[in-house]
Amino acid sequence: MASQHIEPRPVESTPKTLQPYPNKISSDALDDWHLIPQKPNWAEKFHQYWQPGEKGAHKTLNTFLEKKIDAYATHRDFPHEDKVSRLSPYLQMGEISPHYVWHKAKHTTEPSKHLDKFLSELGWREFSYYILYHFPKMCDTNFNAKFNAFPWQKNAKHLKAWQKGKTGYPIVDAGMRQLWETGWMHNRVRLIVGSFLTKHLGIDWKEGAAWFRDTLVDADVANNTASWQWVAGSGVDAAPYFRIFNPILQSQKFDKNGHFIRKWVPELKDLPDKYIHAPWEAPKEQLDKANVVIGTTYPTPTVDQKEARDQALAAFYKL
């Protein structure tokens, strides 16, 4: 693995002084730009989840290195467990340098598979930047031109249901609601919701990337584009199109006891673990006991996952 052979450059030292620009600059008052959203005010809860700035970035990194990194490789895929760094918005905004994060992690942590995995994720970030630099058109065109002929569905109702976390697939809805509430989504769930949008709903990855750009606090043109194209199958070194995530099996595997679903889709919280991943399969008495009425208190599944999968594969093989 390259990260074991190549070290990123050392961190630049802090300048002793910074000279301010000597002349007067005419400028608008920031408040006149009305940047704080009003209808809806999606930034209302921002400070509940994030402390922007360099101080918040260092605090987040230190908490990760002190309390979480020693379980990173084995627990990073479980969205209910708080074992990832949540450094992405700070890295994206330039509030902390990836070189600094790399060196601090490497030189303050015992060597382990957890450290290696974390450093390799920083490497994926570099890879995204590398491909964007060399293929700048990737932001809005398929890297693999074969996908230009893909018959994407234009279904506004399905797209809205996905954006609002009302697809009827609990793990997808939980992720999309986590995104809306906090501006961030766990990586495993980003993979699941991305696969669901492009493969099960058959909607162009560019719609998903645009929604993520609007709603993520870590929205990053390189990582977002590379990841969406990877999920859709159209990117560099992409996941093969025929490897379609089954949202129910993914949910059973990575949120076995439904903790993540119960947190973000509370209308399902009283369902037993066995039925929480696919509530429409629950017997009526279980639904009654949990006060769930499919189609009323929780949406009917937007698509039949097996049928949708077969359609996606058929469209792909025609390319």
Ligand X SMILES: Cc1cc2nc3c(=O)[nH]c(=O)nc-3n(C[C@H](O)[C@H](O)[C@H](O)COP(=O)(O)OP(=O)(O)OC[C@H]3O[C@@H](n4cnc5c(N)ncnc54)[C@H](O)[C@@H]3O)c2cc1C
Binding mask 105-124 for ligand X (x = CB under 6 A): ----------------xx-x
Q: Which stretch binds ligand X (CB under 6 A): 36-44, 51-59, 211-219, 273-281?
A: 211-219
Nearest CA to 205 among 162, 173, 166? 162
> Is 204 near ligand X (CB under 6 A)?
no
b/e 98-108 (16+ beta carbons within 10 angstroms → b): bebbbbbbbee
* 175 bridge partner residues: none
Stretch in the footprint of ligand X (CB under 6 A) among 108-116, 189-197, 240-248, 307-315: 189-197
The site that binds ligand X (CB under 6 A) totals a number of residues, namely 27
Is there a cis peptide before residue 40, judged by omega within 30 degrees of 0? Answer: yes
Residue 296, both tokens = 């009323």
Residues in 212-231 at the binding interface with ligand X, rule: CB under 6 A: 212, 216, 218-220, 223-224, 227-228, 231
Whichever of 223 and 234 has its CB closer to ligand X, that residue is: 223
- Please, which residues have CB within 8 angstroms of residue 242's CB and are 6 or more apart in sequence? 313, 316
Q: Are 216 and 186 in contact (CB under 8 A)?
A: no
User: How far apart (Å, rounded) are the C-alpha atoms in residues 13 and 97?
Assistant: 12
294 is a site residue for ligand X (CB under 6 A): no
Instruction: Single out the catalytic residue among 184, 205, 211, 264.
Output: 205
Please, which residue, 218 or 267, has the CB nearer to ligand X?
A: 218
178 vs 186: CA distance, rounded Å = 9
Residue written as tokens 């959203």?
A: 37
| Closer residue to ligand X in complex, CB, 78/298 | 78
132 binds ligand X (CB under 6 A): no
Query: What value, to the nearest 5°, has the Cα angle with vertex 139 and ends 137 and 141?
Result: 60
Residues within the interface to ligand X (CB under 6 A): 76, 84-88, 91-92, 121-122, 124-125, 128, 187, 190-191, 194, 212, 216, 218-220, 223-224, 227-228, 231
Active-site residue set: 121, 124, 152, 187, 205, 228
